[in-house]
A and B are shown apart, each in its own frame.
Chain A
Amino acid sequence: MDWLQVLVFPTIRALILIFVLLTGFAYLTWYERKLLARFQIRYGPNRAGKYGLLQPAADAVKAFFKEEIIPNHVDKPVYLLAPALALAPALIIWAVIPIAKGIPAIADVNIGFLWILAVAGIESYGVILAGWSSNNNYSLLGALRSAAQMVSYELPLGLFLVSILILAGSFSLVELVESTRLWWEWIWLWLAFPFFFICILAETNRSPFDLPETENELVAGFQTEYGGMKFALFFMAEYINMITTSAIMATLFFGGWKGPFAEEIIWLGPIYLVIKVVLLLFLFIWVRASIGRPRYDQLMKFCWQFMLPLGLVYMSISAVLAVFLK
């Protein structure tokens, strides 16, 4: 029954995970629209169902039945591949995130950290290829910005990850959550959280770092030429990325599935994780509603002149702390 263990169970788990994530995505759009509306003294969606709860379903139906338009001037295979390429990494990062005591979402690989870094590296390809294949100046500029931005912010992001890794002493995320941290370790970690969050914002192309799709100068950036379901895929990629990165942050900084009685009652783990993810998502939306967007060159300057040195300093101090205090 080896193939059952290797193939069937993981497949079923993956399917459940994808289902949960897609539903999560749908309701994240509702959550964001409602929250943004409250920030902006509006009501937000309130027509489809009670409190507009059926709005995501209506949007999905709309996206499905939209006419598929492929402009003549695009590089067709790449153009069609790009949305899928954008979505896939957002989903597969989830494989290593622990959702309850001793249980990863799919597999407990012993290189969880590297997995996150590696998959995050692929993420920018979807955007870059979309911009390139669209054969449109706006898309191209959006893609170039995206490439520069994601590559740059991966450096400080990586440095912070490495610092956490140094303190944790293990590549596995499952072990990271389960190992007990000392009190000063928590404080030291939380000091880094705001900066890590900034990197995550840049990495997920979320406002205020949504420069690849700045609607006010680049129309829609890399996704200008996309419509209907293909656009929905990009949309999905962005929002699932938000969920994924929130889960990563919850895992790294806030103990993941941990909470009162989560060790004893296994099913409480996922619930705690979801609560933490929802709170972190609130942070994403809060930032979007209140902070304006920097200019592209300012964003890059901020990365190279502030975040990167900061990351290096943080990593060195973490190393010293790990050697002398652990």
Chain B
Amino acid sequence: MPLDVAPISRSYETQRTLNPPGIPAAAPLPTGETDDTRRIRERFGDDIGAAGLHNGNQVVYVKPAQLKALAAFLRADPQLQYETLIDVTSVDRSHLPLNGDDARFQAIYQFRSYTRNQHLTLVTNCEAAASPAPSADHNETLLPHIDSLTGVFRGADWPEREVYDLMGIQFDGHPDLRRILMPKNWPYHPLQKQTPLGGEEVPFTLTWDDPEFETLGAQILPAESAAPDLPPGMSRENMIINMGPHHPSTHGVLRLVVELDGERVVSIDPDLGFLHSGFEKTAEHKRYKDFVYYTDRMDYLSAMANNLGYCLTVEHMLGLEIPERAQVIRVIMVEMQRIASHLFWLATHVLDVSGTGMSLLMYATRERERILDLFEMVCGARLTVSYIRIGGVWQDLPKAFITELKDFIRVMPQKIREYEAMLTDAPLWQERLAGVGYISREDGLAMGLTGPMLRGSGVDWDLRRDRPYSGYEGYEFEVPTSDRGDCYGRYRVRMEEMRQSIRILQQAVDTLPSGLYKSNNRKVSAPPRAELDVSMEALIHHFKLMTEGFHVSPGFFYHGIEGSKGELGFFVYSDGSAKPYRLHVHGPSFNNLYAIDHISRGEMLSDVVTNIGSIDIVLGEVDR
């Protein structure tokens, strides 16, 4: 299939050749050592490349042959206890200056120990393919390859499929290595650097006879209608039901192929990617400050949290200090967003479980509406807010905001009691949720679930409390957990989380300091308009920021925040220029959705719907 369209070079964008000398540069190796890296080095000796701290994270470089053994060791060793694999991602380093023997592809794993509160990043070079650069007539056997970790961590399944799909790294020993986000007949692996970004310039002309129209739409793939094939492991003996992508309760364009025996679910194969927007590829072509607006569109129900997650990652790489007031404003926004997201979860969950007539949908959206009104007050937008920016927030809070917020905080606990009165003890609600979608603590950890999904299975972990950011260490709140592991447990956890968020909001409002609402580091955040009239310096800074953006020193960093649906992580690999060399988003919905097959097996078709609601997915984030 021809895709012979050269990537467009836009003259107004930063050209690589204009970068200062020394850019691009590969990430520097980690330095120093920690207890964990010492322990790993003791055990694996020379198979460990470099190990130590990089950007504050523990990083270990391991030889590909020992990857699987090291992962198993990390999990099993009583001194390490890395119980869960949070994320798998990869970097195509072909645009970086490398030594001759450096591998082009690197796979990067994020491990987490909940018991010891430790985070560890594992970097592995992928073994080179037979031919160094995959040619246009793409051949699967030429892909770089590496051992799959699915045997050690079950949750590696989908992230590895994603890496295979987008980056073209073959995982040896993966049970089901299919494309996951892109269409199955897509010829390339989009995150490889030689794949063009796509997007063609629309001819601006006044006549239809213009020859420019002849090539318009050349990048659009021919829509070949392919017969749907049965996902592996399913049998035509059973009834195969296709739920979605247009289905009332798959929360967007999720497609589930459900194998049914009567009304009992035998297995489920989720088909993702209908909303794949290529954010990660786009990010490589946007300046750091310009990507904030894209994060809104991922988890569109908690845009503030996405903004914050991205900004914190970049700010950490810049070593930027955020003013106290901005921190508190951010906490207020993110906690409001958490309540809004949970309210919407509650509304749709009730709708899914109980039918359209059930009035709670409207009650919960009524309160969410108030939060959106408050968002509108601070930034003019309700859904895609882009309010939190690198360096602080966009603008200071308007005068009426605090009064309105206080009123909301006063009213909200009563409303939550109202919802609980309708649901918590209602026998029908209990019967629909209790025992449905059970996931044990061990399975939850092995699958890399995060957020309420994990807390509902009894893991006492909250990034706000355990790895605090944005000044969360200064707030008093509890982390609700439930040992039930079923939909009802998760329901209780989320309801309690809303209460705790109100507690945090109350404290934040009480302690809101005065001061700057964004950093006054002029290299990163633009000077106020008034300053431009009087200061030459300010004008230059403004010009540099608006045209080129700011540079981030070479390196990589993974940072996770507690989003409303789980751990929302951003991984940024910088080559020193003003644009991310590689940006990866760890969306909690993506990993949590992986559990749908496990928790639905043997249950009724109605329970599948309950489970989807209970996992709380947003397809914008799953597909990215």
Contact = CB atoms under 8 A, between A and B. Distances in A.
Interface string B231-256: 00000000111110001110000000
B359 A141 contact: no
Nearest to A297: B604
Contacts of A290: 358-359, 422
Interface string B342-366: 0000000011111111110111001
Contacts of A36: 357, 359
B428 interface: yes
A216 B356 CA distance: 9
Interface in B447-480: none
B426 interface: yes
Contact of A216 (B239, B351, B359, B431): B351
A208 B606 CA distance: 14
Contact of B609 (A40, A138, A217): A217
A293 B431 contact: no
Contacts of B351: 216
A295 B432 contact: yes
A41 B363 contact: yes
B608 interface: yes
Interface in A116-156: 137-138, 141
A77 interface: no
Interface string B582-624: 0000000000000000000000111111000000000000000
Interface string A286-326: 00111111111110000000000000000000000000000
A223 interface: no
Contact of A138 (B241, B356, B359, B431): B241
A122 to B, nearest CB: 26
A215 B361 contact: no
Contacts of B422: 290
B353 A39 contact: no
A297 B428 CA distance: 13
A214 interface: yes
A296 B362 contact: no
A295 B604 contact: yes
A306 to B, nearest CB: 12
B176 interface: no
A26 to B, nearest CB: 20
Contacts of B605: 141, 217-218
Interface of B: 239-243, 247-249, 263, 350-359, 361-363, 366, 422, 426, 428-429, 431-432, 604-609
13 contacts: A137-B242, A141-B241, A216-B352, A216-B355, A219-B248, A289-B358, A290-B422, A291-B428, A292-B350, A292-B353, A293-B353, A293-B428, A294-B431
A42 interface: yes
B354 A215 contact: no
A208 B358 CA distance: 9
Interface string A203-242: 0000110100011111100000000000000000000000
Given A137-B241, A292-B426, A296-B606, A217 B249 contact: yes
Contact of B362 (A40, A214, A218, A219): A40
Contacts of B352: 216
Contacts of B609: 216-217
B606 A217 contact: yes
A207 B357 contact: yes
Contacts of A42: 362
B355 A217 contact: no
A218 B242 CA distance: 11
B248 A215 contact: yes
A292 B355 contact: yes
B431 A295 contact: yes
A294 B359 contact: no
A217 B351 CA distance: 11
Nearest to A206: B357
Contact of A295 (B239, B350, B366, B606): B606
A291 B355 CA distance: 9
Given A36-B357, A293-B355, A297-B604, 18 more contacts: A36-B359, A39-B359, A141-B263, A207-B355, A207-B356, A208-B355, A214-B355, A215-B248, A215-B249, A216-B352, A217-B606, A218-B605, A289-B359, A292-B355, A292-B432, A293-B428, A295-B432, A296-B263
B580 to A, nearest CB: 40
B470 to A, nearest CB: 35
Nearest to B350: A292
A40 B359 contact: yes
Contacts of A137: 239-242
In this complex, the member of B263, B357, B366, B606 whose beta carbon has the largest number of chain A beta carbons within 10 angstroms is B357
A214 B241 CA distance: 15
A46 to B, nearest CB: 16
Nearest to A215: B248
Contacts of A288: 355, 357
Given A41-B366, A288-B357, A289-B357, A208 B248 contact: no
A104 B374 CA distance: 61
Contacts of A210: 355
Nearest to A140: B239
Given A42-B362, A141-B605, A289-B359, A216 B263 contact: no
A208 B431 contact: no
Given A294-B428, A298-B431, A40 B361 contact: yes
Contacts of B247: 219
A292 B354 contact: yes
A58 to B, nearest CB: 21
Contacts of B362: 40-42
A137 B607 CA distance: 17
Contacts of A41: 359, 362-363, 366
Given A40-B361, A138-B241, A295 B607 contact: yes
Interface in A73-97: none
B253 to A, nearest CB: 15
A101 to B, nearest CB: 37
Interface in A29-76: 36, 39-42
A296 B358 contact: no
Nearest to A41: B362
Nearest to B609: A217
Interface string A278-290: 0000000000111
A84 B78 CA distance: 70
B410 to A, nearest CB: 20
A125 to B, nearest CB: 22
A296 B604 contact: yes
